[in-house]
Chain A
Amino acid sequence: MIRADLHIHSCLSPCGSLDMSPSAIVHAACYAGLDLIAVTDHNSSRNSAVVARLAEQAGLACWHGLEACTVEEIHVLCLFPRLNEALELSAFLRERLPPVPWVEGKMGDQVVVNEQEEIEGWETLFLGSGARITLTELGERVLAAGGWFIPAHVDRPVNSLLSQLGRVPNFPFSALEVSPAYDLAKDPERLADRFPLVGHSDAHHLEDIGRRWTLYADIPAPGQPLRTAGVGVRPSAPSAPPPGEIGGCLSRPTR
């Protein structure tokens, strides 16, 4: 079975810990026994190329992408099997971010890091904003480019499909990600009738990587639907995210 954690933030996300360098993430993912990862920073893939190189060296399968914030302020994982499509989407979204500059001291660091954990650059636009693109437009773009389009933590009270739209719209989402608070067995929103459900760590700190994963029989092939085989949770991990993580993605890292 393949263990996939496809929602990990690096130090490029304003809410991500500065410890979340590409090399530390790859190391922690291997240590956690993951087989497939994706680093998904808010509205940007600027650390993805380094993650991809390091994952390849470590023999760890890696998808590429980001966690977009749409004009409706819905967070969606946009994942691609190839790096190029992720970088293209990252550049496209950057053009559509509101002109809110990153402010040192007030916002969490947004750093681009190389293989040696050296800071190579800073993202100057605040990445926590909603980009000027609708959920539907973004979804069509991602699916047309051969990617997977997965609304993130759909049951959360902030920045989710249900919090912003009040319902799951008719759209061919690749899957829906649910948070640890969602009871998968009872499925109170009856989501599993319509879509595969996935769970990931949404890690902002190294120790969170691999605390939650989705199982697959094989690594899903490019362009193919996601056929999941369940969601797993690390026994020592808390059953719900610690306070401060829900809706904390506009603020500085708290731990």
Chain B
Amino acid sequence: MIPIHNLPRHLPTARWVLPPREPLAAVSTAYTSDLLSDVLAHAPPDSVLITLQAHRNTIAVATLVGIRAVILCHHRTPPNDMIEAAEHEAIAIMTTSASQYEASWRLHQAFTDAAPS
């Protein structure tokens, strides 16, 4: 488990576009996908979504699944309507220069290191 507000420490040139409303909420896993049907069917609740899909539909799906934060890779910029929807649904948005592979690998390391041995 790591507090959600610590996530940017683990990713290159990461910054919150919309910071988490509950910065101390703990997350323990992530899901990586660019197909929203797949996210809807398989992403675990209370996770972090690593994706390229910078648009409002991503927030709709994240809300249905119970995803707490969306990490947009390759510095993809969220449009305003995505930020507004995320604010309404209390889902945080972060951008990073990392690819989906690198973001997945780094967060996996971080979650593993933080797990009680």
- A residues neighboring B (CB under 8 Å): 69, 73, 98-100, 103, 106-107, 126, 129-130, 157-159, 243-244, 246-251
Contacts and interface: CB of A to CB of B under 8 A. Distances in A.
Given A243-B81, A250-B60, A251-B60, A157 B37 contact: no
B63 A73 contact: no
A158 B55 contact: yes
Interface residues of B, number: 15
Contacts of A243: 80-81
B14 interface: no
Contact of A129 (B40, B60, B63, B85): B40
Contacts, number: 49
Which of A158, A249, A250 has the most chain B CB atoms inside 10 A of its CB? A250
23 contacts: A98-B37, A99-B41, A100-B40, A100-B41, A106-B63, A106-B64, A126-B40, A130-B35, A130-B36, A130-B37, A158-B55, A159-B57, A243-B80, A244-B56, A246-B55, A246-B81, A247-B56, A247-B57, A250-B36, A250-B61, A250-B64, A251-B60, A251-B85
Interface of B: 35-37, 40-41, 55-57, 60-61, 63-64, 80-81, 85
A246 to B, nearest CB: 8
Contacts of B55: 157-158, 246-247
A243 B85 CA distance: 11
B9 to A, nearest CB: 31
A7 B31 CA distance: 34
A159 B61 CA distance: 14
Contacts of A73: 35-37
A58 to B, nearest CB: 35
Given A103-B64, A107-B64, A251-B57, A244 B40 contact: no
A249 B80 CA distance: 17
A69 B40 CA distance: 14
A246 B35 CA distance: 17
Given A129-B41, A130-B35, 5 more contacts: A100-B40, A159-B57, A243-B81, A244-B81, A248-B57
B74 to A, nearest CB: 15
A237 to B, nearest CB: 20
